[in-house]
Amino acid sequence: MAKRKVAYSLVIPLVLLIGFFLGTGVGTTLYAQESGGRAGVASAKQGTSNPAPVAQLANGTGLETNFVTQVFEQAGPAVVYVTTQVQGFDFFMGPTIREGMGSGFIVDAQGLILTNYHVIQGASSITVVLANGKELTAKVVGSDISTDLAVLRVSPGSENLPVVKLGDSSKLRVGDWVIAIGNPYGFNRTVTFGVVSSNERSIRAADQRTIANVIQTDAAINPGNSGGPLLNASGEVVAINSAILSKSGGSEGIGLSIPINVAKGIMDDLLKYGRVLRAWMGIEVVEISPRFAARYNLPVKEGLLVREVYKDSPAAKTGILPPVEKPNVGVVLDIITKVDGKAVKDYTTLIDVVRSKPVDGKIELGLVHIEGGQVSEKTVTVHLAPLPENAPITGAI
């Protein structure tokens, strides 16, 4: 009887121990299935030589390696390290050289590279470092401050340049996996990943134009990632990493990337014309606030006062006037209160409407016209024209 008690006392811990191991195995399996490959769990089929397609890896099936690894191996060789030198002057007006860094990616085997405008802004020389470590001198094909994009060209020589595949950013959904590759803080060929947090953000370019439908991601993006690609789980570039929202200056999980569909159109114009063809009216404006209106005794509390009209511009041909004083009449000026039938009260709204038009399009403006103290309202149609190359970078609409 005593022996039987001892046997039972051994069986119970043994059963519990077996149950523990079985339970651990079930938990691990479930985690591997739910993680969808994020944890990089190995496939049950060990020793197979054919890697699973990226789409399968993203869905958590056929796992042999983390799907991020697959994307990095597929697209990473086409990501380049961009270094620049910018000439300047110190406090005593002595010449200085400031070095900059960023990222880019090869879009054409003949040596075309897409990056951010702010990465190469003001650079006197640009060097591109390939994934194999080879350095090539780059030239600017064209750049666009309004979308923070630039196209570079290198001469590949005997190099067989790898190329990224451009995707369709309109297909991105909130929650989709995305992978960022770049050179944050100079750490070459760094990969991070996360999800699409939003695809409806907007940011201001250096010329105050709004870049709409910007993609927000929590993939870690830091200084030096600028100009690098944001890729989907199939290894296609869906955006260009451009900015972060941060109080510390480092990544806080809010990275902003310009959609690749925007970049495609910009790149086409830069390759054809060396610049982007945009519509313009040829005016500069001042936003009217209630305080501004009261100070100058204006008949409206909001709108846009036409401050400048460029010679021979579409606005000038329409008869729109800046503030002038006519003999025997007094002050004459125009205030824009509507654009295409809708109220307008800020610079950004007007410039966004104009820039959304084709270069040979037209725009309807509602004006409050003041002449010698007499106030009248009228509607004019402005036939737009391409923005001239010598137009001011900022301020002009």
Q: Which of 103, 143, 197, 226 is catalytic?
A: 226
Phi, psi (rounded to 5 degrees) for 241: -65, 125
Q: Which of 103, 118, 257, 313 is catalytic?
A: 118
Provide CB contacts within 8 A for 165, sequence distance 6+. 75, 235, 236, 237
Q: Which of 148, 234, 257, 313 is catalytic?
A: 148
Largest CA distance in the chain: 127
Judge whether 383 counts as a catalytic residue: no
Taking the C-alpha atoms of residue 209 and residue 131, their distance in angstroms, rounded to an integer, is 34
Phi, psi (rounded to 5 degrees) for 238: -115, -10
Q: Are 253 and 359 in contact (CB under 8 A)?
A: no
Taking the C-alpha atoms of residue 360 and residue 363, their distance in angstroms, rounded to an integer, is 10
Judge whether 118 counts as a catalytic residue: yes
Judge whether 226 counts as a catalytic residue: yes
Q: Are 106 and 161 in contact (CB under 8 A)?
A: yes
Q: Is 252 left (phi over 0), alpha (psi -120 to 50) or beta?
A: alpha
Catalytic residues: 118, 148, 226
